[in-house]
């Protein structure tokens, strides 16, 4: 890898595909991160190949994404292949991003706790990819989440290239903030993360908070921890104004004359949508106006998670105030954000919190738990509110205060877009390319 040539990157996302719909199962912000970062790197000439586990025999072996020729037209067929295999990318050409579905274990979705048993097969499949190119083809391995990191350790060592690892979430952080009754992350994961912290040539943290956690909780070498803030698609997620808000509500079947609080994410204890349902119960019990809570997401961890949330709403006496909708594609998600008065994120932990960045880019204030990356994304009392703890009574007070003050919401919403503009995928890709180069240098330097 030299300054004259953008790198060839093996991007590993083992347990969830970047092509999966975020908001259900294991698909979430990491899916968006991997896909959008890969596209932004490709726009800078990098050849990026994403490897994920095949969960169905019907999936194509390889999916080709994007890519444009020198005239801005789509890059397909033999032309795409020539760009992928060339020593250098021609000027003005954007190489396509490849997504490889690697057979490893049964053709079905597995629980994350079962995936360590298929990692050897996954590593073998990734290693075979170089045989389809030529020795020394890849310049860097970039793994996402600890399961991918285990595969990344093997492939980077075999190819004698640097390993860059992004954790996305950390077991020790999650275990320190578990919801009541939630299952802690297993010891095997903690040990795997400890190994990766020592093995990786560069560790990527999304925020200064996460960087500190890597150092303080895992003993990471501060010199090998690099902060690369994820981006948000600022061209797609934009404010719409009052007219767009009304149009979005009509299209989505939402009332025009009622406050709407939106929760967008997986329905699981970690994301804590139950806190919002209980907060509605507090509002109802104290005689205050109860907003409509829209839960936009599917079950994660337990297939019954959505039904359990609906049962909680019924027991709390607020079932009529809670609507659950399946996850939405990216364009429809813009309409959901614009339709909301407030986006709420009561997560128990968040390494970054992409939903908060997207909502703010749409000019919507965010009420979020003061945890992890949310403390970086949400500017307290400027673009939204940060709430300490998960007491439903406190959440009820904060939500009621924001919803009762239209002028405050307008002010927060206007500032939210400005805050979101700090986060762009172009800047993230530029920074990541520098991390790849630093990792290459670190690999050749002796460890002390």
What angle, 0 to 180 degrees and rounded to 10, lies between the N-to-C axes of helices 330-339 and 354-361?
Answer: 70
Instruction: Say how far apart CA 48 and CA 157 lie, in whole Å.
Output: 19
Residues making up the annotated binding site for Mg(2+) are 337-338, 340
Q: Which helix (H) or strand (E) holds 151?
A: helix 145-159
Residue 101: count other Cβ atoms within 10 Å of its Cβ: 23
Residues making up the annotated binding site are 15, 21-22, 26-31, 112, 145, 169, 189, 266, 271, 337-338, 340, 350, 358
Q: Do residues 129 and 49 touch, judged by C-beta distance below 8 A?
A: yes
Residues making up the annotated binding site for 1D-myo-inositol 3-phosphate are 15, 26-31, 112, 145, 169, 189
C-alpha of 289 from chain center = 33
Residues making up the annotated binding site for UDP-N-acetyl-alpha-D-glucosamine are 21-22, 29, 266, 271, 350, 358
Strands 225-227 and 163-166, bridge-based pairing: unpaired
- Residue owning tokens 């860097």: 140
Q: Helix, strand, or coil here: 368?
A: strand
Strand residue runs (E) in 228-371: 260-264, 292-296, 322-325, 342-345, 366-369
**165 closest CA partner among 351, 416, 380, 335:** 351
Q: Which two tokens stand for residue 109?
A: 């979705």
Q: What angle do CA 211, 139, 227 make, to 5 degrees?
A: 15
Cα Rg of the chain (Å, integer): 22
The CB-side HSE value for 214 (13 A sphere, CA atoms) comes to: 30
- Residue owning tokens 């890849």: 138
**416 closest CA partner among 259, 247, 240:** 240
Q: Which helix (H) or strand (E) holds 11?
A: strand 8-12
What strands lie across the sheet with 140-144, from one edge to the other?
62-65, 97-102, 47-53, 8-12, 140-144, 163-166, 202-205, 225-227
């Amino acid at each position: 890898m030299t300054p004259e040539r953008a790198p060839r990157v093996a991007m590993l996302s083992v347990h969830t595909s970047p092509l999966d719909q975020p908001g259900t199962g294991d698909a979430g912000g990491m899916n968006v991160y991997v896909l959008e970062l890969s596209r932004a790197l490709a726009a800078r000439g990098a050849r990026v190949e994403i490897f994920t586990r095949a969960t169905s025999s019907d999936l194509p072996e390889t999916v080709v994404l994007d890519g444009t020729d020198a005239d801005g037209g789509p890059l397909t067929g033999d032309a795409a292949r020539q760009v992928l295999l060339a020593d250098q990318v021609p000027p003005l050409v954007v190489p396509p991003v490849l997504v490889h579905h690697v057979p490893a274990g049964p053709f079905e979705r597995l629980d994350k706790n079962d995936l360590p048993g298929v990692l050897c097969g996954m590593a073998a499949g990734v290693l075979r990819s170089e045989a389809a190119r030529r020795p020394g083809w890849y310049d860097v391995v970039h793994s996402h989440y600890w399961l991918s990191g285990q595969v990344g350790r093997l492939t980077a060592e075999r190819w004698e290239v640097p390993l860059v690892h992004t954790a996305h979430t950390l077991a020790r952080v999650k275990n320190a903030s578990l919801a009541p009754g939630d299952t802690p992350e297993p010891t095997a994961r903690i040990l795997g993360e400890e190994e990766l912290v020592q093995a990786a040539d560069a560790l990527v943290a999304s925020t200064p908070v996460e960087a500190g956690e890597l150092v303080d909780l895992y003993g990471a070498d501060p010199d090998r921890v690099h902060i690369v803030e994820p981006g948000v698609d600022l061209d797609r997620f934009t404010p719409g104004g009052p007219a767009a808000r009304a149009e979005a509500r009509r299209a989505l079947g939402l009332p025009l004359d009622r406050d709407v609080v939106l929760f967008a994410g997986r329905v699981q204890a970690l994301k804590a949508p139950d806190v919002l349902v209980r907060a509605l119960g507090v509002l109802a019990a104290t005689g205050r106006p109860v907003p409509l809570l829209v839960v936009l997401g599917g079950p994660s961890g337990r297939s019954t998670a959505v039904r359990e949330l609906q049962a909680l709403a019924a027991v709390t006496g607020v079932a009529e105030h809670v609507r659950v909708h399946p996850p939405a594609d990216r364009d429809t998600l813009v309409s959901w954000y614009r339709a909301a008065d407030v986006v709420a994120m009561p997560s128990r932990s968040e390494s970054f919190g992409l939903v908060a960045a997207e909502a703010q880019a749409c000019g919507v204030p965010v009420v979020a738990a003061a945890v992890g990356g949310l403390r970086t994304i949400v500017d307290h009392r400027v673009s939204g509110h940060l709430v300490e703890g998960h007491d439903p009574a406190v959440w009820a007070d904060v939500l009621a205060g924001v919803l009762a003050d239209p002028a405050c919401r307008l002010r927060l919403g206007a500032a939210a877009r400005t805050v979101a503009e700090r986060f762009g995928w172009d800047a993230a890709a530029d920074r990541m390319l520098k991390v790849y180069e630093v990792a290459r240098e670190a690999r050749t330097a002796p460890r002390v």
